[in-house]
A and B are shown apart, each in its own frame.
Chain A
Amino acid sequence: MKTTVFLGAAAATALMAGAGFAAEGDTLAQVKARGELLCGVNPGLVGFASPDANGNWSGFDVAVCKAVAAAVLGDASKVKYIPLTGQTRFTGLASGEVDVLPRNSTWTFSRDTDLKLDFIGVNYYDGQGFLVPKSLGVSSAKELDGATICIQTGTTTELNLADYFKANNMAYQPVNIDSNAEGEQQYLAGACDAYTTDASGLAATRAAFANPADHVILPEIISKEPLGPAVRHGDNNWADIVRWTLYALIAAEEYGVTSANLEELSKSSQNPEVQRLLGSTDNLGQMMGLDADWAKRAIMASGNYGEIFAATIGEQTPIGLARGLNAQWTQGGLMYAMPFR
């Protein structure tokens, strides 16, 4: 009997303690009522999401959270970062733990359909690669037959690896690891011949080694890993908001709108696309339940796509990633924002 009373009491207390009953499925209304965006991020991935000694988050994925918060709530700091591990991220999103999940997750068919998620775009085109010690004398992934390979569980990399070796008729010995930290430790201790994960992660990992020159990233990229923010399936308006916030960042770079010249351009720009983007003409924000300045605020939060890239993972940072596929389409990359019209 006591159990039931306890449970009932706990539930009752919980309800009282701050459950907001927003209209079902209306994430925008929930976020506005809460005054805070719940953003699911990697608990710690150098360059993409990482809290500093004072608990301030920064990184490439975090910038998406800040932009969305700025667009919706008008304040880039009104984000509650919820760290989600590889194993719990999708359940976290599905169960309402977070509003948006920009957590370097790969956009795949089954995740988009079966897992009831919607990927709203791609903010980083990645691919799975292999990191090997130079002393191994391997120059191609095709030479890894019979090798022991460290791999993080619960990710698409696990599936890609199985497919790749099967397709090339090679055998391998997986060493499953729980987190990146264990992976590095095992790899450095020689427990595996190769470490595989997204190439961006490999670059960051390698850069932090005592002797980065002793390790090489093999040329093969064995999979497409389009990493993008995901939202819950079924709330189209919310998906639109996140999608167009991301496009606003990308388009801003394309049109040369930076956090520095933003104010000036919003007054003086003659480019009609820029004018629409920055809300000088046509109130685009209104069409998705926001105000006219939404994109301005999103870009102000941490700059346009190029600025974010350069500040968090670009060539000037210790991680040192080149733009590559992630350059603007005008520069030969894949970043292509849909027209603001």
Chain B
Amino acid sequence: MTESAPAGPPAPPFRLSMLIYDRQYRSLTIQVVVFILLMLLVSWIVHNTVLNLARLGKDINFSFLFNRAGYDIPQQLIPYDSDDTHLRAAMVGLLNTLYVSLLGCIAATVLGVVAGVLRLSNNWLIARIMTVYVEIFRNIPLLLWILIIYAAFTEITPGPREYRGENAREMFLGLFAPTNRYTAIPSVIAEHSPGVLAIGRIEIPWLAIMGIVFFIAAIVLRRWVNARAQRIQNSTGRRPTTWWINLALFAVPPIAIWLIFGLHLEVPELAGFNFKGGINVDNSLVALWLALSLYTGAFIAEIVRAGILAISKGQTEAAYALGLSPGWTMNLVILPQALRVIIPPLISQYLNLIKNSSLAVAVGYMDLRGTLGGTTVNQTGREMEGILLMMAIYLSISLSVSAVMNIYNNRVKLKER
């Protein structure tokens, strides 16, 4: 609050005027006044809210969350139907928000890095195209992009019926069928399925769990193998070849699973109005995902470009002098250094993307704002509870993401000596 008084001449006795004229006491005075004002404001707001609610005959009550929702949600990651509660609908919405945000962050990063690097390319045409991409997406509202991409998607792609009958359209590689309502993709099914792990009504196939476990194990083992190679190199000066071990780590388990359980692809087939079998990825998700990634990607491209330009030219020249090719120079010298400049603004772009995903309702993708903050509030009339709950959820998502990213940032940050 106040700085500790330095040991020196004894403090002068306290006088009332010191509350105003003495620096230390004044800061105390200001804080007390502010605190009182704040409390007054808060109590004023609470008082008004209570009065207003009483006048409208309403109360604050979250029990509506346990009533039947009654509406359907097109895209769901956990089982849900119209007989479920509003709470579950909100959960479905929350998962949808997280899902599109995650996909968006990944694609935006890839797009942004590629566009940022290509903007500095020697290729005149590509550099210009990337500049146009970045400027167009940065300077036009995201809502417009979401609407345009969604509408363009439906206009360009064929209807499912065009895959039927005489002169029918060919499915892409015989596996994928982009249509104007969803993209039908094949799903993986096992002949000897090891079953599912059921947690409540959520069912996770054991195969997926196995896949994830093996993947994590492979990463851990790979680190160990590389550390060992490094140790041997340090002591003998000779690095053992490790690439085949690494390859095996990642390739053997999937092949084994494939052979043991008899995995094969179930190709979607047109039945009735729509494709059955396989997975139908809704266009609203794809369009929203594309729009969010393209929009955020343009901002990330600028961040990446600025990061690269911030690395002094001497670094590039030194790398060239060592005989590194331009590609290796970028990968080994420039990007790792630029990363330190890039990461902090990148975090806020990720947060922006998550928050911007709340525009999903424009294309009817039912995210948190579409379910809890939209249909639920509208059907139950609980706008106060719904909106406050929604804000609290968004706030906790943002705070957790920024906490995690800040930990990462602190790890890669240049340790100042």
Contact = CB atoms under 8 A, between A and B. Distances in A.
Interface in B154-206: 154-155, 159, 180-181
Contacts of B378: 86-87, 90, 154
B181 A166 contact: no
The listed residue with most A CB atoms (<10 A of its CB), out of B57, B73, B282, B364, is: B364
A56 to B, nearest CB: 28
A175 interface: yes
Interface string A192-218: 110000000000000000000000000
The listed residue with most B CB atoms (<10 A of its CB), out of A24, A90, A145, is: A90
B25 interface: no
B381 A189 contact: no
- Range, interface on chain A: 35 or more
Contacts of A166: 82
Interface residues of B, number: 46
B381 A191 contact: no
Contact of A175 (B70, B364, B374): B364
Given A153-B370, A153-B374, A173 B74 contact: yes
B232 interface: no
Interface stretch (A1-9, A238-246, A288-296): A1-9
B97 interface: no
A174 B155 CA distance: 18
A321 interface: no
Nearest to B280: A173
Contacts of A91: 377, 381, 383
Contacts of A115: 380-381
B184 to A, nearest CB: 12
B74 A174 contact: yes
Contacts of A94: 56, 381, 383
Contacts of B375: 153-154, 158
The listed residue with most A CB atoms (<10 A of its CB), out of B375, B377, B383, is: B375
Nearest to A8: B41
Contacts of A146: 271-274
Given A4-B37, A153-B364, A233 B82 contact: no
A177 B57 CA distance: 33
B361 interface: yes
Contacts of A185: 151, 154
A90 B381 contact: yes
Given A7-B41, A94-B56, A175-B284, A191 B180 contact: yes
B304 to A, nearest CB: 33
A8 B38 CA distance: 11
A133 to B, nearest CB: 10
B283 interface: yes
B94 to A, nearest CB: 17
B415 interface: no
Given A1-B30, A146-B274, A192 B72 contact: no
Interface string A157-198: 011011100100000011111100010011001111100000
A191 B37 CA distance: 56
Interface string B130-150: 000000000000000001000
B15 interface: no
Contacts of A110: 379
Interface in B369-417: 370, 374-375, 377-381, 383
B362 interface: yes
B74 A233 contact: no
Nearest to B271: A146
B50 interface: no
The listed residue with most B CB atoms (<10 A of its CB), out of A5, A175, A233, is: A175
Contacts of B99: none
B209 interface: no
Contacts of B70: 159, 162-163
A194 B154 CA distance: 15
Contact of B274 (A4, A154, A162, A173): A173
Contact of A116 (B283, B364, B381): B381
Given A4-B37, A90-B378, A154-B375, A176 B362 contact: no
B374 A191 contact: no
Given A173-B274, A176-B364, A178-B361, A114 B381 contact: yes
Nearest to A178: B362
A190 B159 contact: yes
A189 B151 contact: yes
B47 interface: no
Given A114-B381, A190-B180, A191-B283, A87 B74 contact: no
Contacts of A86: 378
Contacts of A190: 154, 159, 180
B45 to A, nearest CB: 9
A152 B33 CA distance: 51
B313 interface: no
5 shortest interchain CB distances as A-B pairs = A176-B364, A115-B381, A190-B159, A189-B154, A162-B82
Given A115-B380, A147-B274, A189-B180, 8 more contacts: A4-B41, A86-B378, A87-B378, A90-B378, A176-B370, A177-B363, A178-B363, A178-B364
6 contacts: A1-B30, A146-B274, A158-B72, A159-B71, A159-B379, A189-B180
